[in-house]
Structure 1
């Protein structure tokens, strides 16, 4: 039997199961009563990992959740087509397919062969977890012009090999590899 988690112990980024659906906690707020006999309530902002819907719900502190049968599997990105995006499970060497909705904007950071983690729920892929940083080649950017920094503009647009457009410092040139934060899609440094 899966371990039970009290609602009051659910913290940000924790995973739990409610009504046979896996959720990720985005935020939790505990409100203690001021009156005697009042119940402590826990307000959770949570994301449904199957539909990606985000909503808030209030629970009693002693409500219990199951730990989801959620496994992270190492995989590499193969390609995308009309059916979805295809990944190679690095343990079983099985090809797993995720729909466009499951992948979301992750294709902005994925090149062929990129390693990542797939979320498997009850043996089926339901989503993916990108690494914190990815390294991508700059395919197009304007050359930095000396004196541009005096105008206060110290960044310029650059298009990466995946088609993602980001702001980079003036010294970055075409053909260079840059490190990009997957959470925000921002330049993080040279690779």
Structure 2
């Protein structure tokens, strides 16, 4: 059990059988009336963000979570298969629980967040930025660097990314996995 004084960003709460992460919180002491805590909570299963206000000092159920590095091995009909980097234990995770799954390639490391008591996987995060090779894009024309026009390009994982006109097939680019946007050319 924790109280509102223990709130911190990233803390996981159990409310009515659902797990929520605290995205942000603010302790408010109005001139009149009791203090309260205004929070933004993200549902682990659905990803929905809700606003909730707690009276100051209220007890809440804190969920202990663990973050572990796993390496992506392969995909089959059971889901995406990962191996723990320390114990070599293998687990299978559903596609819906992996953030940035379209940019996941074999051998990449991901951070898997699990419920500490039940060992159930809450979600997995691919690195924020990944370097991928372009397998196909329309050829660019010389001098097409002045405008901010973008064209579609297919990367080695099969995902499509919008890239500037001067990017060619075979080049490596850095991609932001949160929204699938082009960041820069990779060295």
Match for residue 94 of structure 1?
A: 89
Q: Which runs of 4+ in 1 moved over 4 A?
A: none
User: Which has the higher mean CA deviation after the structures are superposed, 93-102 or 141-150?
Assistant: 141-150
- Deviation of residue 139 (structure 1)? 0.9
The count of corresponding residues between Structure 1 and Structure 2 is 183
**3-state DSSP of counterpart to 1:148:** coil
| Residues 1-191 of structure 1 mapped to structure 2, 5 A cutoff | 4=2, 6-7=3-4, 10-12=7-9, 14-19=10-15, 21-35=18-32, 38-103=33-98, 106-121=100-115, 122=117, 123-149=119-145, 152-191=147-186
Q: Contact conserved, 1:16 with 1:65, CA < 8 A, in 2?
A: no
CA distance in 2, matches of 1:135, 1:148: 23
Give distance in 1, aligned partners of 2:174 and 2:72: 18
Q: Give the root-mean-square deviation of aligned CA atoms.
A: 2.4
Unaligned runs of 5+ in 1: none
TM-score using structure 2 length = 0.83
Unaligned runs of 5+ in 2: none
When the two structures are superposed, what TM-score results if normalisation uses the length of structure 1?
0.82
Distance in 1 of aligned mates of 2:121 and 2:163: 34
Q: Report the Cα distance in structure 2 between the residues aligned to 1:31 and 1:128, rounded to whole angstroms.
A: 33
